[in-house]
Every structure is written in C-alpha cells, then in structure tokens.
C-alpha cells in the first residue's frame, strides 16, 4: 500500500513540520557548505508546501554532535544557503525545542529552520517526551528525509503518533516509487550490478536481490571472495576468508543468477599509474583492481537487454584511473540501455558522475545507508511509521 503523500493533504494555513535531510558536508570549522545537493533535493517539497499556503518548520540533523550543542555542526550555514536558493528569508531557530522556538511559529509563506536535532541526545534515543515537544510545534508532519529513514529517531519515527496528520514528502515519494518498483515488480529482464570492497557489507543485499533479479553481475573486490570460493586463483586480491563458505553457499543457491568476472586488470601494487596487465586468472603475487575487457563485454551484453537495472558499488578501484575503466564502461552501458536504472548512493553515485552519465540514470538515491537497507529487503522504520493512503 503506498504511503499518504504531502499531495494528499490540505496544507492551507497549517504549520507543516518537514523532516528534511540537511546533513550536508561542511569544510573544517563548520561555516562553509561544500555540497548543497541535499538542500536542493528537498526544494520541490518545500516549494510545494509554500505554494499550498503553509508555514514551514524544517528540521534535520547534521553530523554527529553526540547530544551536545556544537557550533561547528550548526545548521546556520544551511539557513543562509536555503535563503539564497528560495529567494526568501529563512529564519534560524536557536534550538529545536523549547519556549524560544515555540514563540517563533511561522505564518503562511514563512520558513523556520530548527537547530540541529542531534544537539539533544533524546533525538537518537527516540525519547517520547522530546518527540511530544517536536510534535507540539506543528499541525502536520512530513518526512522527506529518505537518507535518515533507516533510523528510528524522534524526528523520523517517535513524533508521528503525537501529530494530527502525517505524510511523506515528494523526495521520499520518488525514492520509494523507484526502489519499490525495481525490487518488487520490476520490468524484466531485471539486472543488478553489485561491486565495492566487501561481500560482508552486502550479504543481505545479495540474498534479497537474488530472489528478485534475473541476473546479478558481480565486480569489485567482492568478486574475489566468490572466485576463491570456486577454487579459482586470486593472488593477493582483497578477499574475506571468513566469508568463503557463505560465498559458496550463495553461489550454489543462486543457480545461474550470479555472474562473476571472466578476466581482470591486475597490478603488483595498488597505486595510481601502476603498470598493469589483463589476465584470465589472477597470478600469484598480483592483485585484481578492475574487471577486464572480456568481462566488460559480457556484462554490457546483459545490461543492453535489461529493462530494469539496480546498481550498487564500483567494479574496481575507480578512484585510481585507469582502474576506473570497467566501472565507466558499465555506467555508459547502463545509460545507453534505455532501462529504468536505480543507483544506490555514495561511491556508486561518484562512479556514475565520473563516467559523465548521471543525467541518463532514472534515479540516483539520496540515501546511501537507507537505500542499502531497502535493497536488502529491510523495512525502513521511518517509512513503516508513516500512515498509508
């Protein structure tokens, strides 16, 4: 059942509390925002609520202040940037709860940004008293912070029973729409591309996606744990020896769903510009740092036929060119495939951007941890807590 959306509510004249994800990267000192991507991602919901005649209270965490006020993790720079982006004033509250904040209730068309929720330890403890204080600030609660939806905190879960009306925001709607469709009812063939450093980080994702997808293409260092489990030579590639039995079991269970690299780019030593060669089997003393051209060709053929593609994790050490070639080639193939493509956050997003094809991807998730948990089939507490339509 889809969740009730902000579009389903009458917001006119109401005070709307929007839990946003303004956890932006800051330069040392905490004054300068180095990427405002997360602020921009929340603009459609903010603009929509303003257009409907609401007064807005925006709330977010920033960094890990561990329950204490810390000026280096203040949301003040965000208020300034948001003022620029919206072209209207955004008032900054001195705190996120308390009498001072209660007096600052915004009227229709006005915006109040609360100070960092995590300046209070009660936020992460999901404290009922703190939840009630937050809820008392508003008439309507909206959760647009997909990136925090895997957290069971006061602002993402606890305050919902204490508000009159609750709904998801437009960014949350978009995230859930793409991720749900790709994992529950995908157009087929549905292909997942999984890479990155460790199998152990992605066991649940592999297990869940194995049930959903038609083919699962594995690359990155995690491929070497699977190859070693098959008895193949891996040289000194990154392997998780304690996960070999699990890898063997996953391969046995997956039948033909899991595809592994057919060749590799190997080096003696992992550093930029290191001499490399392409091999079918990783020799003793060498380390696999990227998928080779035969693998690229085989994987691109699968990608070209796909109608849905889910991607998480690079195919090699993409930060050190030329070991980004496999990742870039697959990114281009995904972009050219015409399939609905959903990419998890973090390194996968960086890889897509360095391939220059971000605008051809249907959806790049704004939540690294949250999208991983979603792909693993785990119900996100911040989503579960929202009412259905």
- The yes or no reply on residue 319 touching ligand AMP (CB under 6 A) is yes
Structure-token match 């190997």, residue found = 266
How far is 98 from 152, CA to CA, in rounded Å? 22
Cβ-based neighbour number of residue 364 at 10 Å: 20
Count of residues that bind ligand AMP according to CB under 6 A: 16
Could you say which of 54, 111, 317, 342 contacts ligand AMP (CB under 6 A)?
A: 317
- The yes or no reply on residue 314 touching ligand AMP (CB under 6 A) is yes
Cβ-based neighbour number of residue 167 at 10 Å: 23
**Residue 129: partners with Cβ closer than 8 Å, 6 or more residues away:** 122
Q: Which of residues 329-348 bind ligand AMP (CB under 6 A)?
A: 347
Q: What are phi and psi of 240, to 5 degrees?
A: -100, 95
**What is the nearest approach in angstroms of ligand AMP to the Cβ of residue 208?**
16
Torsional class of 22: left (φ above 0), alpha (ψ -120 to 50), beta (otherwise)? alpha
CB closer to ligand AMP, 65 vs 316: 316
CB closer to ligand AMP, 269 vs 319: 319
DSSP state of 282: B
Catalytic residue among 198, 232, 307, 350: 198
Could you say which of 77, 158, 169, 288 contacts ligand AMP (CB under 6 A)?
A: 288
Stretch that binds ligand AMP, among 27-35, 168-176, 309-317, 329-337 (CB under 6 A): 309-317
How far is 346 from 342, CA to CA, in rounded Å? 13
Is 147 a known active-site residue?
Answer: no
Q: What are phi and psi of 142, to 5 degrees?
A: -130, 130
Q: How many residues does the chain have?
A: 389
CB closer to ligand AMP, 198 vs 332: 198
- The yes or no reply on residue 196 touching ligand AMP (CB under 6 A) is yes
Stretch that binds ligand AMP, among 14-22, 193-201, 242-250, 355-363 (CB under 6 A): 193-201
How far is 345 from 353, CA to CA, in rounded Å? 11
- The yes or no reply on residue 221 touching ligand AMP (CB under 6 A) is yes
CB closer to ligand AMP, 177 vs 242: 242
- The yes or no reply on residue 278 touching ligand AMP (CB under 6 A) is no
Q: Sheet of 287-291: strands edge to edge?
A: 276-279, 264-267, 287-291
Is 198 a known active-site residue?
Answer: yes
Catalytic residue among 3, 19, 38, 202: 38
CB 13, CB 358: distance < 8 Å = no
- The yes or no reply on residue 234 touching ligand AMP (CB under 6 A) is no
Radius of gyration over every alpha carbon of the chain, rounded to an integer in angstroms = 23
Could you say which of 172, 238, 296, 364 contacts ligand AMP (CB under 6 A)?
A: 238
**Residue 164: partners with Cβ closer than 8 Å, 6 or more residues away:** 139, 140
Is 19 a known active-site residue?
Answer: no
Is 369 a known active-site residue?
Answer: yes
Q: Which residues are identified as catalytic?
A: 38, 198, 346, 369
Rule CB under 6 A: which residues touch ligand AMP? 195-198, 201, 220-221, 238, 288-289, 313-314, 316-317, 319, 347
């Amino acid at each position: 059942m889809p969740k009730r959306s902000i579009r389903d509510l009458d917001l006119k004249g109401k005070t709307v509390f929007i839990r946003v994800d303004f956890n932006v990267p800051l330069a040392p000192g905490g004054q300068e925002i180095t990427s405002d991507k997360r602020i921009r991602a929340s603009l459609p919901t903010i603009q929509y609520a303003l257009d409907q005649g609401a007064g807005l209270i925006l709330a977010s965490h920033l960094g890990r202040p561990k329950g204490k006020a810390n000026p280096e993790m203040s949301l003040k720079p965000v208020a300034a940037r948001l003022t620029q982006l919206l072209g209207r004033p955004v008032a900054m509250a001195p705190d996120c709860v308390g009498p001072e904040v209660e007096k600052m209730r915004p009227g229709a068309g006005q915006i109040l940004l609360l100070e960092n929720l995590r300046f209070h330890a009660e936020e992460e403890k999901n404290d009922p008293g703190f939840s009630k204080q937050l809820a008392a600030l508003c008439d309507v609660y909206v959760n647009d912070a997909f990136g925090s939806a895997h957290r069971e905190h006061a602002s993402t879960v606890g305050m919902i029973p204490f508000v009159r009306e609750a709904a998801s925001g437009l960014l949350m709607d978009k995230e859930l729409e793409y991720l749900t469709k790709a994992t529950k009812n995908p157009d087929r063939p549905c292909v997942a591309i999984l890479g990155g450093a460790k199998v152990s980080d992605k066991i649940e994702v592999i297990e869940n996606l194995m049930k959903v997808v038609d083919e699962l293409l594995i690359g990155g260092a995690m491929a070497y744990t699977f190859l070693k489990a098959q008895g193949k030579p891996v040289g000194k590639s990154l392997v998780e020896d304690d996960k070999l039995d699990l890898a063997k079991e996953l391969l046995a269970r997956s039948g033909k769903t899991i595809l592994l690299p057919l060749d590799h780019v190997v080096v003696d030593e992992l550093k930029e510009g290191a001499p490399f060669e392409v091999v079918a089997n990783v020799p003793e003393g060498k380390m696999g740092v990227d998928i080779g051209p035969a693998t690229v060709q085989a994987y691109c053929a699968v990608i070209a036929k796909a109608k849905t593609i889910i991607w998480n994790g690079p195919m090699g050490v993409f930060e050190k060119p030329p070991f980004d070639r496999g990742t870039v080639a697959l990114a281009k193939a995904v972009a050219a495939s015409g399939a609905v493509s959903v990419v998890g956050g973090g390194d996968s997003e960086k890889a897509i951007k360095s391939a220059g094809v971000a605008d051809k991807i249907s959806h790049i998730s704004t939540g690294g941890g949250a999208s991983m948990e979603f792909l693993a089939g785990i119900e996100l507490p911040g989503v579960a807590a929202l009412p259905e339509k």
